[in-house]
Amino acid sequence: MSDAKLQAVLSSLSPAARQLDALPCDRPAPATDYIKLNTNENPFPLPTIVWQSAIAALERQYLYPEEDNISLREAAANAYGLTKDHVIAGNGSSELLGLIYRAFLAPGDSVAMISPGFSFNRKLAMLQGAQLLEIGTSEARSLPLEQLLLGPANNAKFILLANPNNPTGTFVPVADIECLLAQSNRLIVLDEAYVDFAPDNGLRLVSRYPNLLLLRTFSKSYAAAGIRVGFGFGHPELIGRLRNIQNVFNMNVVGHAIGTSILAHRAAYEENHQYIRHERQRVTTALAQLGFSVTPSYANFLLARVPEGKDGRWWQAALETQKILVAFFPDKSLGDCIRVSIGTETQMDAFLAAVGHISEILRSGRSRASRS
Ligand SMILES: Cc1ncc(COP(=O)(O)O)c(C=O)c1O
């Protein structure tokens, strides 16, 4: 296609995609000798019994998966004490987030999110032509109820809370969320992607409040990020509206089998979750000794403010030269932070050794400069 023709075609399309000025990231997956601590996966293999269910499912690869994910939704309903009409299953919870934006927002509407929050929401709001109101309570330990109930958030079509929050790892009391649900007539989307690493959860609120949509994923605490399994729980009227607009066959037979098997074997993950909590504390302490200021985390990652002198982007690049990947966010309030997932003990030892090594180089550079 000639350039002129391409430009004519592109400008004839709807403006939604044009708002996203950059092409999607097309960096290949890092080589396997990189330590990947940038996207909060769980570093352990699936329990053998769960793994076997995937192999069995592959024997049905020539058939379409079950329509509307009925067996998986039933299994989730049984596991979480709900009915299947309260449950929608997604190809990861990010699919469900996308459905919520498409179902409940029109161009010009607004949606509110605690800031800093899960950045994918910015893209979803933009694609919908909606305004994302970021309510600034950086690293707060409680909900800004007044701002959410009385400020511009009160006109938002829905309010997004992630608890624990990404990228801060902070956790607000479930009682605060219940207060908001009780006092607001807005839809509250409670994203509990990291809740299995936290002391409490909001599941008991689903049957009490028709204005709650609760999201869960098996990507973080159940080590299935590559399989793509997520759930939404809420009033059947809300869930039905989302199921109505969902793609047919949105999941595959392996996702169905692994999701169902995880639900039956959740107890097999207890040690995994205990390890993450323990390692999170060990790395927090070690990073503090290296001059980082770490936000107390209730998730499987740490938000660490880097020592004065260099910013988060610099540290991210320096660690990459040591084959360690961590996350950096260009937001103003996070410019001096990196976010580090909790990996295996060996991975975290390598990460801490690399941080120590880089700190040492910085220190010796500074003392050389002060001598000259
Ligand atoms: C807060 C939060 N919600 C949702 C997701 C999406 O998870 P998935 O699509 O893998 O289920 C993530 C992933 O990082 C997240 O951090």
Domain CATH number, residue 282: 3.90.1150.10
Please report whether residue 171 resides in a domain. yes
User: And the tokens for 341?
Assistant: 């997932």
Whether 150 and 295 share a structural domain: no
Place of tokens 């729980």: 233
Give the residue from 241, 264, 287 where a domain finishes: 264
Contact between residue 159 and residue 177 where contact means Cβ atoms under 8 Å apart: no
Show the beta-strand stretches assigned E in 64-109. 87-90
Q: Which domain holds residue 35?
A: 28-44+269-363
User: And the tokens for 133?
Assistant: 């109101």
Predicted confidence at residue 368, as pLDDT, reads 75
The whole-angstrom separation of Cα 301 and Cα 326 is: 10
Whether 244 and 110 share a structural domain: yes
Whether 226 and 308 share a structural domain: no
| Pocket of ligand 1 from Cβ distances under 6 Å | 40, 92-94, 118, 162, 166, 191, 193, 217, 219, 225, 230
Predicted confidence at residue 267, as pLDDT, reads 96
Count of beta carbons in the 10 Å neighbourhood of residue 225: 16
CA distance readout (Å), 219 to 26, 43, 194: 22, 11, 9
Please report whether residue 289 resides in a domain. yes
Whether 245 and 294 share a structural domain: no
Whether 54 and 194 share a structural domain: yes
Q: What distance in angstroms lies between residue 331's CA and the mean position of ligand 1's atoms?
A: 19
Contact between residue 268 and residue 47 where contact means Cβ atoms under 8 Å apart: yes
Q: What's the number of CA atoms in the CB half-sphere (13 Å) around residue 158?
A: 22
Please report whether residue 19 resides in a domain. no
Nearest atom (ligand 1) to Cα of 118? 1
Nearest atom (ligand 1) to Cα of 217? 11
Please report whether residue 104 resides in a domain. yes
Whether 208 and 232 share a structural domain: yes
Nearest atom (ligand 1) to Cα of 225? 10
Predicted confidence at residue 371, as pLDDT, reads 72
Nearest atom (ligand 1) to Cα of 229? 11
Q: How many structural domains does the chain have?
A: 2
Low-confidence stretches of the chain (pLDDT beneath 50): none
Give the residue from 264, 293, 317 where a domain finishes: 264
Q: What distance in angstroms lies between residue 90's CA and the mean position of ligand 1's atoms?
A: 12
Whether 151 and 38 share a structural domain: no
Predicted confidence at residue 32, as pLDDT, reads 84
Give the residue from 240, 264, 288 where a domain finishes: 264
CA distance readout (Å), 175 to 215, 297, 347: 18, 19, 36
Please report whether residue 370 resides in a domain. no
Pocket probe for ligand 1: among 113, 161, 191, the residue whose CB has the most ligand atoms within 8 Å is 191
Whether 226 and 312 share a structural domain: no
Three-state DSSP at 189 gives strand
Strands 110-115, 131-136: pairing kind: parallel
Whether 38 and 124 share a structural domain: no
Whether 168 and 32 share a structural domain: no
Pocket probe for ligand 1: among 36, 38, 39, 93, the residue whose CB has the most ligand atoms within 8 Å is 93
